[in-house]
Structure 1
Amino acid sequence: MKQRIAVIGGGVIGLSTAYALIRAGHDVTLVERNEDVGLGASYANGGQLSYRYVSPLADAGVPRQALRWMLKSGSPVSLRLRADPNQWRWMFSFLSACTHKTNRQSTAALLSLALRGQDELAAWRAEGLDGFMWRQPGKLVLYRQDAAFRKAMFSIHDAKLERALSPADCAKIEPAFAHLAPDLAGGIFSPEDEVADSHLFCKALKASLLCEPRFRYVQGNSSLAPDTENRCELKVDGRRFTTDLIVLAAGLGARDMTIPLGIHLPLYGLKGYSLTLRPSPETMPSVSVTDYDNRVVYARLGDALRVAAMVDIGAEDATFNPTRLASLRTLVKRTLPHIADESGNDNPWTGLRPATPTGVPIIGRSRYTNLLFNVGHGALGFTLCTGSAARIADIIGPAETYGVQ
């Protein structure tokens, strides 16, 4: 049955959700509070669509490793404890999730969602969605420690889609990192993984949606409140907005929006950083690369190289931390000295990535019959957005028959 659906949030999650619901034949209104789409956590993320590398942060041994990181300058993870109940609740749940069993379960759930998303994006591209620098160069994860590399090798499920490589083979796959070979234990290469620009993806989705007569774009501030016993109401800029269903895809903002409903979403903002460099084309890597031990990703997007890293737990907002930014620049210069020296302006960015303690997003219906959630994707928002959108479309169902009506 065709329904009127309001999607709250104009990042990769909300826009992908709106696109999937339009394809399913529904009438969709997207509500975004900012002046344009994709300006939050979607703006300048790592650019990797790493469908087969989705292991969440929570894992056995991570708390002990994190303690070592916190004593090291430029570490992948930093923690600043605050008198914030949200942080303490999230941290307690995160520590509870740091087990082998939970990590395996979470990884399986994320892998299923990611691979569904890869198929979905392929279908959207086949229908004509483009203009976001999509490529399929494959992804190479570099490991410096033998134990981590062995664990990664044991986790390979399909030898055709993931290959364990020697340091010499890693250098052949991506010569830009060949000088690191003496320090490597090995690497895992996923030839079908992809890269794209998440902000351009948001813009492409919006442009395509605006061509649909059943789509409406509204800029305004959304709020939710109880309506009847089992339904909630949506207001935009203080005015009641009539709709059959509401899909909340507002990232970290979803946490505060659901408090009036008596719902406390287990979301916390993990601050991440990125640099966008523009070195000489011949010096740039082509393959998407992850430096596992330093938790840094490198993705070539057109004539730019996107470098993203770091998790700051306890950051209050998305303002720059000069010390963390300097550490990232130092790491890039040490890893790719020629590129760092010639790039000029590196266009720094930082954003709060809305994460659940397990790393698995919250996708599905709430206790209010007209409200669904699509939130909590953390650092994997771009990778999981299309799969999450397809999951929401499955839950709601097609308007009449499958496809655009």
Structure 2
Amino acid sequence: MNAMQEAIVIGGGVIGLTSAWWLLDAGYSVTLLERDAVGMAASYRNGGQLSYRYVAPLADAGVPLKALQWLFQEHGPLRFKPELDLRQWRWLARFLANCNGAANARTTATLLELGELSRRAMGELGSVVPPLAFGWRDAGKMVVYRSPSAFAAAVARPDADDSRQVLSSAECVAMEPALAAAQPLLAGGIFNQGEAVADCYAFCAALSQQLAAHPRFKGTVRADVHRIVSDGAARIKGLDTSAGPLAADHYVLAAGIDSRDLAAAIGLYLPLYPLKGYSLTAPIRAGDCAPAVSITDFERKVLYARIGDSLRVAAMVDMVGADTTLDPRRVASLTRQVRQTMPQAADYDHMTAWAGLRPATPDSAPIIGATPYRNLWLNVGQGPLGFTFACGSAKLLAGAMRGAPPPFDWRGLALR
């Protein structure tokens, strides 16, 4: 890149904000475009886990049968509502095509590389956004198993760097006393150092402040994008927004699930579907036995993370379209599970609930990089691992835009 070029990043969540930062670092001048305040959509109250090594795709052999079983469980992690929308069925068909061991292994290998890049990139930000500003904590991660067969299968799975600790149910409680009430239900657990927890919204707010202070940052425009305007060939001419027309040399689409419709209007199909997830946030009082370790309840697909003075619990995959309303039945179900598993962890009487849409691809691999339009770039589809993958995805994107050699074989992340 010779003369300084301008980029507009569409989307002010954790993916858009990190994209803006790494583009500034790469020498671009940057404008951020967001309809609301930054970090208020899928980034607002997500699970808070930074799970760089636990990146297994949702699609795997045996998952379709498990999904059918979950649909008939009162507290099952999955809900499905058929839509009269071809995009839902097209996504499901591609998801099922990826439900095999070979596809899962290929995608997992790529996501592990992206996770490691993201871990290093988050570390690079430490001098710019102090970890204390967003509650970052190297908590380590424990995955607990209720089923002896699921636990045995997890233990038998090869460990890339032999760093995990395999724990009995008693050892799980010794390491994390918050699990004491659940011990009779646990077959065991696996613990890994190096996994962290943090407040994604606080990270977005802190990074937004640093962006505003950067000399090449041209500001945040609060507006809706009505459409992306192409020249009818292979170039984007500008954006039609509620704040008027905007133009730049390059455009980065990082608008979560909204990216799907914006891309479709210019003939690009993005295989994204909004997986609705729920979170609960409860204050931790003096005397509560809140977990210090980040915990995942494997069978129930429930995540627990202590973020500052609050317990964050995240769970569930609802395939119900672009609906962010709180389903009281789902909230009540999750609340019951949390009270049963960790009854003394927090003040559940003052708990608040939230739901957000996680833009997921059928194979769980995000879509990063070039499009058929030579000045339109993508950073979408991180699904439930948006916070985990944000910094690595942004670094990959900035490198691709300036033509730098990729740090690993990331062809699996390209638009196909």
1-structure distance, mates of 2:375, 2:158: 40
Tell me, yes or no, if the aligned pair for 1:279 and 1:343 is still in contact at 8 Å.
no
Matched, 1:158 2:164: no
**1:118 matched to which residue of 2?**
119
Query: Given the superposition, is the C-alpha separation of residues 70 and 128 from structure 1 closer, same or farther in structure 2, using an over 3 Å criterion?
Result: closer
2-structure distance, mates of 1:363, 1:84: 25
Q: Provide, for residues 90-146 of structure 1, a one-character-per-residue CA deviation record: whole Å limited to 9, x for no partner.
A: 111111111111111111111111110010010111344441110101010101122
**2:407 matched to which residue of 1?**
none
Cα RMSD over matched residues? 1.5
**1:359 matched to which residue of 2?**
364
Matched, 1:221 2:224: yes
1:228 Cα deviation from its structure 2 partner:
4.4
1:22 Cα deviation from its structure 2 partner:
1.1
The amino acid that maps onto 1:103 is N
Q: Provide, for residues 38-62 of structure 1, a one-character-per-residue CA deviation record: whole Å limited to 9, x for no partner.
A: 0100000000001111111111111
1:383 Cα deviation from its structure 2 partner:
0.4
**1:25 matched to which residue of 2?**
27
**1:58 matched to which residue of 2?**
59
Tell me, yes or no, if the aligned pair for 2:129 and 2:210 is still in contact at 8 Å.
no
Matched, 1:89 2:93: no
Q: Provide, for residues 305-341 of structure 1, a one-character-per-residue CA deviation record: whole Å limited to 9, x for no partner.
A: 000000001244100111111100111111112236x
1-structure distance, mates of 2:268, 2:50: 31
The amino acid that maps onto 2:380 is V
- Counterparts of 1:3-402 in structure 2, within 5 Å, are 3-34=5-36, 36-130=37-131, 131-153=133-155, 154-160=157-163, 162-215=164-217, 216-222=219-225, 223-235=227-239, 236-237=241-242, 239-282=244-287, 283-339=289-345, 342-397=347-402
2-structure distance, mates of 1:146, 1:101: 25
Tell me, yes or no, if the aligned pair for 1:51 and 1:383 is still in contact at 8 Å.
yes
Tell me, yes or no, if the aligned pair for 1:361 and 1:375 is still in contact at 8 Å.
yes
Mind listing any 5+ residue stretches in structure 2 that lack a counterpart?
405-416
Counterpart of 2:123 in 1: which secondary structure?
A: helix
2-structure distance, mates of 1:30, 1:311: 30
Tell me, yes or no, if the aligned pair for 1:252 and 1:354 is still in contact at 8 Å.
yes
2-structure distance, mates of 1:15, 1:156: 33
How many residue pairs were aligned?
396
1-structure distance, mates of 2:47, 2:243: 36
The amino acid that maps onto 2:224 is N
Percent identity reads 45
1-structure distance, mates of 2:27, 2:176: 44
2-structure distance, mates of 1:395, 1:281: 49
1-structure distance, mates of 2:83, 2:158: 36
Tell me, yes or no, if the aligned pair for 2:8 and 2:250 is still in contact at 8 Å.
yes
2-structure distance, mates of 1:107, 1:178: 33
Tell me, yes or no, if the aligned pair for 1:129 and 1:208 is still in contact at 8 Å.
no
1-structure distance, mates of 2:41, 2:228: 21
Q: Provide, for residues 259-303 of structure 1, a one-character-per-residue CA deviation record: whole Å limited to 9, x for no partner.
A: 121111100000000000013244111110000110000000110
Counterpart of 1:210 in 2: which secondary structure?
A: helix
Q: Provide, for residues 348-388 of structure 1, a one-character-per-residue CA deviation record: whole Å limited to 9, x for no partner.
A: 00011100000000001000000010001110100000010
Counterpart of 2:150 in 1: which secondary structure?
A: helix
Counterpart of 2:181 in 1: which secondary structure?
A: helix
Normalising by the residue count of structure 1, what TM-score does the alignment of the two structures yield? 0.95
1-structure distance, mates of 2:330, 2:158: 32
2-structure distance, mates of 1:61, 1:394: 37
1-structure distance, mates of 2:149, 2:278: 27
2-structure distance, mates of 1:119, 1:139: 18
Q: Provide, for residues 1-29 of structure 1, a one-character-per-residue CA deviation record: whole Å limited to 9, x for no partner.
A: 23211110000000011011112221011
Counterpart of 2:233 in 1: which secondary structure?
A: coil
1-structure distance, mates of 2:209, 2:62: 45
Tell me, yes or no, if the aligned pair for 2:137 and 2:196 is still in contact at 8 Å.
yes
Tell me, yes or no, if the aligned pair for 1:233 and 1:240 is still in contact at 8 Å.
no
Tell me, yes or no, if the aligned pair for 1:139 and 1:289 is still in contact at 8 Å.
yes
Normalising by the residue count of structure 2, what TM-score does the alignment of the two structures yield? 0.92
